[in-house]
A and B are shown apart, each in its own frame.
Chain A
Amino acid sequence: MADIMASNLIRQTFRTDKLPHIWCQGCGHGVLMRAAAQAILNVGFDPDKVCIVSGIGCSSRAPGYMNYNTLHTTHGRAIAFATGVKLAKPELHVIVMTGDGDAAAIGGNHFIHAARRNIGITTIVFNNSIYGMTGGQYSPTTPMYDTATTAPYGNIEQTFDLCKLADASGASYVARTTAYHVPQAIKIFEKALLNKGFSVVDAISGCPTYYGRKNKKGNAVQMMKWMKDNSIDFKTAEKMTADEIKDKIITGEYKNAPAPEYCEIYQKEVIDKVLKGDAI
């Protein structure tokens, strides 16, 4: 499946007349978008039943290029809009494409509550550790002491670990991948899409324009190389000390624990019971 030609993939899943995209050269977002498109194709969803929702940010521009039912909403609110779409029409495959700021800062509340409900939405966070769209301000995933335009003396805030946050909030599928590890990203996206409940993929992206330049992490190629050289999987990480994993990207499946999905419970435990007259 994975060897479908790129051009074929693009014809099948993209709005080719909307390309080229707005992203800078070397941005990881395009790689992740392509991997997500490949995964949607691979799992065989009916494209008319796929709905992609985003908030505001560079990452949130992705759905506009993709040939599905696409909804570009307000900053931080993608998951809340998606919750309405999904509950109103559970047969839709609802996917959220969002940024680290969109999902974890302004939209943090929606993120944890959607996870708590285990509603059938797959959330892909294009995590570039920075606010790209507004020109490089620090985000909840900017590493401590890195610099950003609003942290000229270094960022003194702790970072969110989005996998731990999603897990603790109740998401039933949680994983991390990077824009360098494309075959892994495709596999993880597929599994996230096939999980019936709330899935979260923390997809590490690179922003050479703002994050890279500000923090002397080099150009696009060097940032990709950094992802390659610094990623380890969760199993390996388990055997390492806190100090050893400090600057690593820990990738792979963090949690795969299927659990009853919100819309199905609503149908079964609320509507069906009320209609049968045997609600509590």
Chain B
Amino acid sequence: MRLLMGNEACVEGAIAAGMRFFAGYPITPSTEVAEWAALRLPEVGGKFIQMEDEIAGMAATIGGAIAGKKAMTATSGPGFSLKVENIGYAAMAEIPCVIINVMRSGPSTGLPTSPSQGDVMQARWGSHGDYPAIALAPSSVSEAYYVTIKAFNYAEKYRTPVIVLMDEIIGHLREGIELPEKLDMEIIDRKRPTCAPEDFKAYKVPEGEIVPPMPGFGEGYRYHITGLIHDETGFPTNSMEAAGKLCSHLMSKVEDNVKDLIEFELIDVTDCDVLVLTYGGTARTVSATKKLAEAAGIKMGIFRLITVWPFPEDELREIVAKHNIKHVLVAELNHGQIVREVDRALKGAAGVHHIGKINGDILYPKEVLQKLQEVKANG
């Protein structure tokens, strides 16, 4: 058993997943991720570099992945804003990589040391154009470890950037964690091509596969990578047919596999008066509210997102229908972000309510309880 911070646990998880390259730039409250990576990577023969800014941190991370390594960067609000152009590049060029975003209070420089969950929509839509997003939100230190491993697995399997949406609560939380000697989890590595270099088409998806195999630079397959629209050879083209094909492929590789990507935890959803949907650090407030709610005579169910993007809309709709749930309360540390997804998913099938906060403080159980009481009283 070790006592680790969420930020440190991320790095341990990443190393267990095979991460051997980290490029970043310090920013509160994510800095310990970089510090721990700087300390730990050389011990496993990996490389760490502190770049001149977050744009460079993202660029070098993608470069490391192209050279064949599993690569990661970490940041927080202002830095995440700087990274988004290159996150779009990684999505377009299908470069696997992981971005840890330890959310702090915004907008702008905001309250650097205070928690928030205000970057949820940015994680989905931050870069321009239509591209898919995968984002996972851990609620404990040990979950930060496992979620980071999963993030690498998804990145490698779907060849796309994956975001670990931490918040300051989990990033700076210290908890006991059992680091397994032998990992009881599959580790996924990107597939390498097996054909002769002259037959290699860098962006051709083989029959029955989700994404093309990806050789590292220097492995004998000389190919071209670009952020421009490209055809299956990887070279730029202005063809609308090729553009349509590529953009649809980028979207569908995630949309067709939501079942593989979606993970959530359900607690006492049968017969509940109100289902509380939450994620990340706020989920801890919500679970602490449960006892209070019961004492107040409210049956409270919990739907805790682990995968935030893609959002489990079908699953939520099914659960609400199956258990005849009348009210869903979304608890999140922002002015209302995931609540929009919930509203969109439920299409009026249940009352949708929100409790949030944007003053840098966390949500407290008594506040959630009060909201539950209001919701129950009104309907």
Which residues of A come within 8 Å of B, CB atoms? 18, 47-49, 51, 53, 63-64, 67-74, 77, 80-89, 91-92, 109-110, 113, 266, 270-271, 274-275, 279
Contacts of A70 in B (CB 8 A): 222-225
The docked-state distance in angstroms from the alpha carbon of A63 to that of B235 is: 11
* Cβ contact within 8 Å between A92 and B85: no
Which residues of B come within 8 Å of A, CB atoms? 20-21, 23, 42-43, 45, 47, 49, 51-53, 55-56, 59-69, 71, 85-86, 89, 216-220, 222-228, 235-236
Query: Assuming A84-B23, A113-B52, is B89 touching A73 (CB within 8 A)?
Result: yes
Q: How far is the CB of A70 from chain B (nearest CB, A)?
A: 5
* Cβ contact within 8 Å between B235 and A48: no
* Cβ contact within 8 Å between A47 and B47: no
Residue of A nearest to B225 (CB): A71
Q: How far is the CB of B127 from chain A (nearest CB, A)?
A: 11
Query: Assuming A64-B236, A274-B43, A275-B45, is B224 touching A80 (CB within 8 A)?
Result: no
Q: How far is the CB of A25 from chain B (nearest CB, A)?
A: 21
The A interface, classified by DSSP as helix, strand, loop or mixed, is helix
The docked-state distance in angstroms from the alpha carbon of A89 to that of B216 is: 9
The one of B53, B63, B69, B235 in contact with A83, judged by C-beta atoms closer than 8 angstroms, is B63
Given A80-B63, A83-B63, A110-B52, list of 15 further CB < 8 A pairs? A67-B222, A69-B222, A72-B236, A77-B55, A84-B71, A85-B64, A85-B217, A88-B47, A89-B69, A89-B217, A110-B56, A266-B47, A270-B42, A271-B47, A275-B42
The docked-state distance in angstroms from the alpha carbon of A86 to that of B223 is: 17
Contacts of A109 in B (CB 8 A): 52-53, 56
The docked-state distance in angstroms from the alpha carbon of A83 to that of B73 is: 14
* Cβ contact within 8 Å between A68 and B43: no
Contacts of A67 in B (CB 8 A): 222
When A and B form their complex, which 6 residue pairs have the shortest distance between CB atoms, in order from nearest?
A: A84-B63, A84-B60, A80-B59, A88-B67, A80-B56, A88-B64
The one of A82, A87, A110 in contact with B49, judged by C-beta atoms closer than 8 angstroms, is A87
Contacts of B86 in A (CB 8 A): 74, 77
Contacts of A82 in B (CB 8 A): 63
Contacts of A72 in B (CB 8 A): 224-228, 236
Contacts of A80 in B (CB 8 A): 51-52, 55-56, 59-60, 63
